[in-house]
Structure 1
């Protein structure tokens, strides 16, 4: 690997990570809006709005800090530049909050269809309701994956404040 390409590769990784989190947030928002249209009652709608707003705020903050954690901004992908960055341990804590809340919102959004479908017992038979509920509850798998990621995030380097020095 040519070390001259390291800043370009890091930029692409940060860029891809940003859009990955953006896509995740938008897909959760889309599903929540679908649930909002299907739900009845102010309690259910309040829960959905709370999950949507807080999830977008927390994940949006994490996306923002992917780019603004260093001054100059280019130091995010080019460590050879002079400047400063927020301590890695603090960034890990922010990302842990983002991953943790993402997992919680996955679980909540996966369980809400069961309540909605329970009230549709006059329009759908049991098999249809069960099939729809299982399909709409696949977010539980994403929630479990988020919790595993949450547990593993600080262990990636053993110490969340470790940095890697590349030498030739």
Structure 2
């Protein structure tokens, strides 16, 4: 059956967003497997979220091919139940897909934090998203009796007041919006404290705060929830469907941009290497990692290059111990053996040992995940 009404628009927009999701999924997968060689659980979850979006799009396409996007009275009565059923299945993939996308961001943030308090602060909204998504799906499918009434209201004796579905939709939507804002602001609490170059911190934090755009689409979707109970559901729900799809798509794009940063840096470094003989080539085994020394000073002396394993074995010296000064140039991390020991303790004496260790670990994690390659100031 040919698509009519808003059906072609819905299908066209959703497949366009699906292509964007697949594109960023491919970029992220390549970055984490080839560039930084750090493919993890958050990447698997991101791929699952992409698959969820594709399934959402497929079922909405099937629904639109029958009658979704048209007024109820324009569709043959026999076509209404399957149209609603396929759209309901698609919305179920959307319910879980959006929550899974938030999980991908949360699991990525867990890679960067060091303290237990920060980890708990990340797990709480993730658990909240999981619980509300399960409840929303349950209220959606079991809010009518019999269950067939979800997609066929013409069944004699059916009614859909078993569970307060609309309030649950608002709770679910509000939870996702809160999570978007939460994860957009949370990185500022720990990344800003790292002894990284200010420009690097601002670039990383702004890219990780793009979730506010996903929250904006979430607010728009919540404003249209009442359409889900409209007698003219197949036409009235078009905006809800599109805003839900846009929210998940923008969420995945916003998650993909900061994670793909090492790929962008690799490309820029390669372009710069053609214009200057002194430019440093990107190396697959020794990534450019920039750390601030414990003294707060930098050098560019020639020495032994440090790779990630060397960094992991390094530690901040205790008070009274001789310290090894560390710094970076474009090529990597070097040990400075020419500085006097008196320069090593100008700033860090006032910090506790645990705070210094946490900061060092945070810099190492940020350097590994974001390919921070410039000197710290």
TM-score interval w.r.t. the shorter chain? 0.7 to 0.9
Moved more, 42-51 or 21-30: 42-51
Greater relative contact order (Cα < 8 A, sep 6+) = 1
Shift of 1:17: 0.5
Aligned equivalents of 2:93, 2:188: Cα separation in 1 = 31
| Unaligned ranges ≥5, structure 1 | none
Report the 3-state secondary structure (helix = DSSP H, G, I; strand = E; otherwise coil) of the residue aligned with 2:164: helix
Aligned equivalents of 1:74, 1:149: Cα separation in 2 = 26
Q: Confirm whether residue 97 of structure 1 aligns to residue 203 of structure 2.
A: no
Aligned equivalents of 2:105, 2:155: Cα separation in 1 = 42
Match of 2:82 in 1: 8
Moved more, 109-118 or 16-25: 109-118
Deviation track 1:26-47 (CA, whole Å, cap 9, x = no partner) reads 1101111111221122322222
Runs of 4+ in 1 over 6 A off after TM superposition: none
Aligned equivalents of 1:116, 1:99: Cα separation in 2 = 27
Match of 1:58 in 2: 132
Report the 3-state secondary structure (helix = DSSP H, G, I; strand = E; otherwise coil) of the residue aligned with 1:71: coil
Match of 2:211 in 1: 139
Aligned equivalents of 2:193, 2:216: Cα separation in 1 = 27
Moved more, 98-107 or 111-120: 111-120
Deviation track 1:53-106 (CA, whole Å, cap 9, x = no partner) reads 111101211012221112222211111123434429921111001001110011
Aligned equivalents of 1:83, 1:32: Cα separation in 2 = 45
| Unaligned ranges ≥5, structure 2 | 1-74, 235-377
Match of 2:225 in 1: 153
Report the 3-state secondary structure (helix = DSSP H, G, I; strand = E; otherwise coil) of the residue aligned with 2:222: helix
**Which residue, 22, 31, 51 being the options, matches 2:96?**
22
Q: Confirm whether residue 77 of structure 1 aligns to residue 151 of structure 2.
A: yes
Q: TM-score when scaled to structure 1?
A: 0.83
Aligned equivalents of 2:233, 2:174: Cα separation in 1 = 29
Report the 3-state secondary structure (helix = DSSP H, G, I; strand = E; otherwise coil) of the residue aligned with 2:186: helix
Q: TM-score when scaled to structure 2?
A: 0.39
